């Protein structure tokens, strides 16, 4: 049944219209090191919440400990210091200002992750946990995850193409406009459970048969893709059924000339891209095939670029009020978004993975990490990201 739901999600579900979502009377606790509690509708007991929680704007927020915390509503970010805050007053129309900066772009990525989480509630316990009212606020509009779709008061856009696995034009700035890997259509990933040995978790949908977790007859390439630094790169892919060894081939993308070939029994292979035959500025394609079988992957393309090229992409963050005043976790998330937008996908994935390990209770990290995978329709890695 879960398999059917996943397939349906990829093919049919459409994310909520982002502009409409910004008009909803809710506030998202984006990040912050302080202890945060909220009082629903200004009455009753204060309940503890963590980053990623969504609460009604009619609530009162209490911040203590290390402050400030960053909250978001209606396209506006605010920093709240220690004390009690009436959220309706904080986000009173005309009081909260918007400025043209990377903050607006980041807002679109954040709302995309909220939309995805809202739509995915009920797919499995990991997704449902992100919108559980007991820990994640009363603003998700759900008491039963299976009814997640009716709590936001926003109709789904008909055929809008702004949802799951549907790319908007590159550079659209709405959090969904990332191109899929060349010729792949299935994404990439790095999060490896301890002791798995193959790069992927074991709790996959029963009978999925798509090449994951030792099942099926497909090989899905994961990383690298996009821009990579001239250093040792980790090549990763999925494990299908009954494969004992793999052949990895790397070719010059322009000439098709084979520049490296190796055989390995694992689904992880490391290669130093700082040494010949690899050169800075060159584009390469890599594939993986199963030894002794007519089973191979679609190619992924990457380009080796100097690490100095990456430094320039962070300049817009210097003009971001949210980044400059945010805590370490929030700054890390914004850096990951900037890496993704500039096609440094390997480094973006590594950044999210480190943040998830460093901040295990930070659901904003999980949601943003999962949406990173879903922008390429990579549902299996999205599931891993929210675990």
Judge whether residue 230 has pLDDT over 80. yes
Q: What is the mean pLDDT of residues 243-260?
A: 95
Q: How many angstroms separate the CA atoms of 69 and 81, rounded?
A: 7
Residue 363 tokens, joined: 């659901």
pLDDT digits (tens, 9 = 90+) for 110-158: 999 999 998 888 777 888 889 888 889 988 874 443 433 333 333 333 3
Closest CA to 365 of 51, 24, 37, 43: 51
CA atoms within 13 A on the CB side of 2: 16
User: What pLDDT is recorded for position 95?
Assistant: 56
Judge whether residue 65 has pLDDT over 90. no
Q: How many angstroms separate the CA atoms of 6 and 235, rounded?
A: 26
Q: What is the mean pLDDT of residues 23-36?
A: 84
User: What pLDDT is recorded for position 211?
Assistant: 59
pLDDT digits (tens, 9 = 90+) for 301-337: 999 999 999 989 999 999 999 999 999 999 999 999 9
Which residues, 6 or more positions from 96, have their beta carbon under 8 angstroms from its beta carbon? 73, 74, 76, 78, 90
Mean pLDDT of the chain: 77
Q: What is the mean pLDDT of residues 274-299?
A: 91
Which residues, 6 or more positions from 133, have their beta carbon under 8 angstroms from its beta carbon? 140, 142, 143
Q: What is the mean pLDDT of residues 269-293?
A: 93
Q: Which residue has the higher pLDDT, 42 or 314?
A: 314
Please state the pTM of the whole predicted model. Answer: 0.80
The pLDDT-based confidence of 34 (bands split at 50, 70, 90) is: confident
User: What pLDDT is recorded for position 171?
Assistant: 36
User: What pLDDT is recorded for position 160?
Assistant: 31
User: What pLDDT is recorded for position 100?
Assistant: 65
Q: In terms of C-beta distances under 8 Å and separation of at least 24 residues, what long-range contacts does 325-328 make, across chains too? A: 325/68, 325/70, 325/79, 326/31, 326/70, 327/31, 327/32, 327/33, 327/66, 327/69, 327/70, 328/33
Q: What is the mean pLDDT of residues 145-174?
A: 34
pLDDT digits (tens, 9 = 90+) for 82-106: 999 999 999 886 555 556 689 999 9
Helix (H, G, I), strand (E, B) or coil at 317: helix
Q: Which residue has the higher pLDDT, 217 or 104?
A: 104
C-beta of residue 80 within 8 angstroms of C-beta of residue 73: no
Residue 297 tokens, joined: 């992957």
Residue 21 tokens, joined: 């979502």
Q: What is the mean pLDDT of residues 255-277?
A: 95
Q: What is the mean pLDDT of residues 62-91?
A: 91
């Amino acid at each position: 049944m879960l398999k059917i739901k996943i397939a349906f999600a990829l093919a049919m579900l459409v994310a909520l219209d982002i502009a409409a979502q910004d008009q909803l009377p809710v506030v998202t606790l984006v990040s912050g090191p302080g202890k945060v509690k909220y009082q629903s509708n200004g009455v009753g007991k204060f309940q503890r919440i963590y980053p990623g929680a969504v609460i009604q704007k009619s609530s009162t927020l209490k911040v203590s400990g290390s402050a400030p915390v960053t909250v978001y509503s209606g396209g506006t970010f605010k920093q709240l210091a220690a004390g009690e805050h009436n959220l309706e007053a904080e986000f009173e129309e005309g009081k909260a200002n918007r400025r043209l900066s990377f903050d607006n772009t980041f807002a679109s990525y954040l709302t995309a992750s909220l939309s995805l989480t809202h739509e995915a509630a009920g797919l499995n316990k990991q997704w449902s946990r992100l919108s559980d009212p007991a820990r994640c606020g009363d603003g998700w509009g759900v008491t039963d995850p299976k009814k997640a779709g009716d709590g936001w008061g926003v109709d789904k856009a008909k055929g809008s193409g702004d949802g799951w696995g549907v790319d908007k034009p590159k550079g659209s700035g709405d959090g969904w406009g990332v191109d899929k890997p060349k010729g792949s259509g299935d994404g990439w990933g790095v999060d490896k459970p301890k002791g798995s040995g193959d790069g992927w978790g074991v709790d996959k949908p029963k009978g999925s048969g798509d090449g994951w977790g030792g099942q099926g007859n497909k090989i899905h390439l994961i990383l690298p893709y996009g821009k990579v630094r001239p250093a040792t790169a980790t090549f990763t892919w999925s494990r299908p059924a009954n494969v004992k060894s793999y052949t990895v081939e790397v070719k010059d993308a322009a000439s098709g000339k084979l520049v490296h070939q190796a055989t390995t029994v694992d689904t992880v292979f490391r290669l130093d891209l700082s040494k010949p035959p690899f050169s800075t500025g060159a584009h390469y394609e890599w594939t993986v095939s199963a030894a002794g079988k007519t089973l191979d992957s679609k190619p992924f393309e990457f380009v080796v670029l100097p690490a100095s090229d990456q430094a320039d992409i962070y300049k817009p963050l210097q003009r971001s009020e949210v980044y400059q005043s945010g805590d370490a976790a929030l700054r890390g998330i914004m850096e990951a978004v900037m890496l993704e937008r500039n096609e440094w996908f390997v480094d973006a994935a590594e950044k999210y993975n480190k943040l998830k390990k460093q901040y295990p209770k930070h659901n904003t990290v999980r949601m943003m990490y999962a949406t990173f995978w879903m922008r390429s329709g990579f549902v299996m890695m999205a599931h891993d990201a929210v675990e």
